[in-house]
């Protein structure tokens, strides 16, 4: 039996749509899914009891899908079943995003639950290699994508972010804790004539079972508002949500969307 720990955004809906039957839908308190109705809502301070409840229901697999921010922890709410997990949770809270998710995965696996990736359940969210749009990237765009891939590797090694914007070999913006949308918003008042490539991909050695980067229609809108020429993502490393809408919007607004091989 599968439990889907659903966060915000459209990814949980995409995962449920690919399953033959509805999973047990769970949510971290304060980060309930936008459209799905959660069967179980749990606070982080009672994670141990939540895991025990899953096992009592016959759950053997867990999938984490959707956006969740780090909640504030109230020590007074920590129950007895969660107390042994406190050292791991403390380490997770103090780590970068990838480190925090690895810690959470470790907790589930130590409890005997296997963790499935969203893209393993919904593989069509990972597009094939090539350009998906009518507009094609130029040679300079592809060169900027190469440069961006190198920047992203350096960022990922420091567990910083999963996206950056490059124009003529120069980094215009890099993704930090506030995410891709905020990064693109920061470019809406840029002083130049526009152009540039949004590049997105996973961090080196990132555990993709819980934190696969994604783009969607809002990413396209943000790229247009930022004055960019197009979007390049890494093959097998970035989910495309509402793919048909994304491609339609790119074509309507004159952006390219290219999937490239992972840089070695």
Confidence at residue 105, expressed as pLDDT on a 0 to 100 scale: 87
Q: What is the pLDDT of residue 72?
A: 77
Q: What is the pLDDT of residues 153-180, one digit of tens each?
A: 888 777 788 899 999 999 999 998 888 9
For the beta carbon of residue 79, count every other beta carbon within 10 angstroms.
13
Q: Sketch out the chain's domains with CATH numbers.
A: 2-121 (3.40.50.20), 126-260 (3.40.140.80)
pLDDT of residue 136: 96
Average pLDDT, the chain: 90
| Cβ-Cβ contacts under 8 Å for 151 (sequence gap 6 or more) | 164, 166, 171, 174, 199
Q: Is the entire prediction scored with pTM above 0.85?
A: no
Three-state SS letters, 52-74: HHHHHCCCCEEEEECECCCCCCC
* DSSP H helical ranges for 32-174: 47-56, 86-94, 97-110, 118-121, 139-157
SS3 243: helix
The predicted pLDDT at position 95 comes to 61
Task: Quote the CA–CA distance of 11 and 246 in Å, as a whole number.
Answer: 14
Q: What is the pLDDT of residue 140?
A: 97
Give the chain's residues under pLDDT 70: 93-100, 207, 263-264
pLDDT on residue 79:
92
The pLDDT score that the predictor gives to residue 106 is: 87
pLDDT number for residue 202? 86
């Amino acid at each position: 039996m599968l439990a889907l720990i659903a966060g915000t955004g459209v990814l949980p809906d995409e995962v449920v749509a690919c399953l033959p039957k509805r999973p047990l839908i769970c949510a971290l308190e304060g980060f309930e899914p936008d459209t799905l109705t959660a069967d179980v809502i749990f606070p982080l301070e009672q994670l141990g009891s939540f895991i025990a409840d899953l096992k009592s229901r016959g759950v053997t697999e867990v999938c984490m899908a959707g956006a969740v921010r780090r909640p504030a922890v109230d020590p007074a709410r920590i129950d007895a079943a969660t107390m042994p997990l406190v050292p791991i949770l403390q380490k997770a809270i103090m780590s970068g995003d990838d480190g925090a998710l690895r810690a959470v995965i470790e907790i589930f696996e130590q409890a005997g639950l296997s963790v499935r990736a969203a893209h393993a359940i919904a593989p069509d969210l990972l597009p094939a290699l090539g350009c998906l749009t009518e507009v094609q990237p130029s040679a300079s765009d592809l060169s900027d994508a190469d440069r961006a891939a190198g920047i992203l590797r350096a960022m990922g090694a420091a567990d910083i972010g999963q996206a950056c914007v490059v124009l003529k070999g120069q980094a215009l913006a890099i993704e930090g804790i506030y995410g891709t949308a905020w990064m693109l918003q920061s470019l809406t008042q840029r002083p130049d004539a526009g152009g540039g490539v949004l590049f997105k991909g996973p961090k080196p050695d990132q555990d993709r079972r819980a934190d696969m980067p994604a783009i969607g229609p809002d990413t396209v809108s943000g790229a247009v508002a930022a004055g960019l020429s197009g979007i390049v993502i890494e093959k097998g490393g970035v989910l495309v949500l509402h793919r048909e809408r994304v491609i339609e919007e790119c074509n309507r607004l004159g952006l390219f969307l290219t999937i490239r091989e992972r840089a070695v």
